[in-house]
């Protein structure tokens, strides 16, 4: 499902061409997933539109081999649907755009407290940036929320088109 169409100010925008984000039709799992068990690892991810795939690769590179079990970036990257295998964990701004279109996309958990993971670490002032990542509530419009990396949240994989 098309989740967002690039605007002229977005990286990847090409005048006269249609590009943007495709959202998976469902969450990748029913129980959510952790960002990482390592509460001190700092990877240096971006928050902007167009950074989700690179973030996902950086997280997997940093965690693969040391992380036990499934984690959000790996879960999103391993997702396959519609013959595509280039899915990833969206960045903070990418996921905010999906939330703006959540009812058109469909199948998002919008119950009280429903939260989705991004591939973006938090650099929020006043917080130690190492152990947190940006999460997005889907039951309200609160956009600046951070979660502890070991805390599980929902995962919705996306891909570029």
CA–chain centroid gap for 148, Å, is 15
pLDDT above 70: residue 130: no
pLDDT above 80: residue 142: no
Predicted confidence (pLDDT) per residue in 80-119, tens digit: 999 999 999 999 999 999 999 999 999 998 887 889 999 9
What pLDDT was estimated at residue 59? Answer: 97
CA–chain centroid gap for 67, Å, is 19
* 3-state per-residue secondary structure call for the chain: CEEEECCCCCCCCCCCCCCEEEECCCCCCCCCECCCCCCCCCCCCCCCCCCHHHHHHHHHHHHCCCCCCCCHHHHHHHCCECCECCCECCCHHHHHHHHHCHHHHCCCCCCCCCEEEEEEECCCCCCCCCCEEEEEECCCCCCCEEEECCCCEECCCEEEC
What pLDDT was estimated at residue 127? Answer: 57
Q: Is the pTM of this model over 0.75?
A: yes
pLDDT above 70: residue 126: no
Number of domains in the chain: 1
Quote the percentage of the chain above a pLDDT of 70: 96
Domain of residue 132 covers 2-160
């Amino acid at each position: 499902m098309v989740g967002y169409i690039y605007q002229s100010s977005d990286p990847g925008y090409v005048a006269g061409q249609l590009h943007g984000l495709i959202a998976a039709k469902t969450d990748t799992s029913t129980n959510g997933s952790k960002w990482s068990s390592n509460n001190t690892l700092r990877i240096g991810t971006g928050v902007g539109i167009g950074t989700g795939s690179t973030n996902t690769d950086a997280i997997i590179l940093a965690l693969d081999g040391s992380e036990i079990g499934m984690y959000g970036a790996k879960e999103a990257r391993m997702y396959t649907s519609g013959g595509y295998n280039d899915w990833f964990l969206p960045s903070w701004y990418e996921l905010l755009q999906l939330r703006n279109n959540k009812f058109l996309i469909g199948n998002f958990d919008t119950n009280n407290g429903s939260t989705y993971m991004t591939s973006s670490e938090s650099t929020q002032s006043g917080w130690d940036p190492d152990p947190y990542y940006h999460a997005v509530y889907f039951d309200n419009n609160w956009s600046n929320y951070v979660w502890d990396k070991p805390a599980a949240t929902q995962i919705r994989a996306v891909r570029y088109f």
